[in-house]
Amino acid sequence: MFDLHVHAAPDITPRYADDHGVVSAYAEAGYSGCVLKAHYESTVGRAAAVDRRQGIRVYGGVVLNQHVGGVNPAAVAACLSAGGRVVWMPTADAHTQRRAGLPSLCGARPELSDHSYAIPPRAPRLATAVRDICRMVAEADAVLATGHLSTPEVEWLVPTARELGVRRLLLTHPGYTVPDMSAERAAALAGLGAHVEITTYQLLHQPGATPARLARYAAGVGLDRVVLSSDAGQPDSPSPPEAHRMLVRALASEGLDRGALEACAGELPEALVEP
């Protein structure tokens, strides 16, 4: 098993455990590795430090939120040069997040700018910056993840990234509240080479995201292009490895093939991120 998306302390919000506690839980559960994600901090150095201590593979990356200036090629260059494996487009500071009333650092600290970020077609002036980022990700053979961008932005980004040589593309939980992408549109992007993420966070915290609904989404995309992540780390969620396994069980209970689901939670995400 390999979890492509987990949160740990230190963070701006309370977390289940710190890096060492989270990764120790994966090691004890027999996982081969995980990816640490933080909305407002690069996890590259944190992943390298805990990787050396725990004996499983731990990867990090950067999210292009306000703390790095948003859609900023310099932040991507720094992340990838230091060994980062995942670059996420804006999440908590994406315009979609603000419109949906979901949390952000700027929302919690009103003295900060409430600027939000977008890419083409919503923000055509950023096309050059996004293309520069895609070229860097392609050169590093890293993962480009879509964050919380809207469906039209993701539909612009995926073919653009592919044309610029990006091989590893991840639709960040597209069925979540943001961007609320249909399975049919996600499947079309999977046909261009993207992987499609479904998370336990959706199951536990997204209104209406029942096991049946998530199973239909997975089946609509095709399990050969689905990755199952926990997106865990919240104090009110189970331990990250237990949350991850919970998602596999929930989807299997809806009739999806258990072996294929275990590949979605292990072989596929590990192959997507490993150098």
Q: Which residues of the chain have pLDDT under 70?
A: none
Question: Are the CB atoms for 151 and 96 separated by under 8 Å?
Answer: no
The C-alpha atoms of residue 227 and residue 222 are separated, in whole angstroms, by 10
DSSP string, 139-206: HHT-EEE-TT--HHHHHHHHHHHHHTT--EEEE-STTSTTT---HHHHHHHHTTTEEEEEEHHHHHHS
Q: Which residue has the tokens 């258990």?
A: 258
Indicate the pTM of the whole model.
Answer: 0.97
Instruction: Report how far apart, in Å, the C-alpha atoms of 153 and of each of 72, 90, 126, 180, 250 are.
Output: 17, 11, 12, 13, 31
| Number of neighbours of residue 11 by Cβ within 10 angstroms | 15
Question: Are the CB atoms for 54 and 31 separated by under 8 Å?
Answer: no
- Which DSSP symbol is given to 208? T
Q: Is the peptide bond before 211 cis (omega within 30 degrees of 0)?
A: no
Residue 115 is predicted with a pLDDT of 87
Domains and CATH numbers, the chain: 2-273 (3.20.20.140)
Lookup: tokens for 70: 């948003």
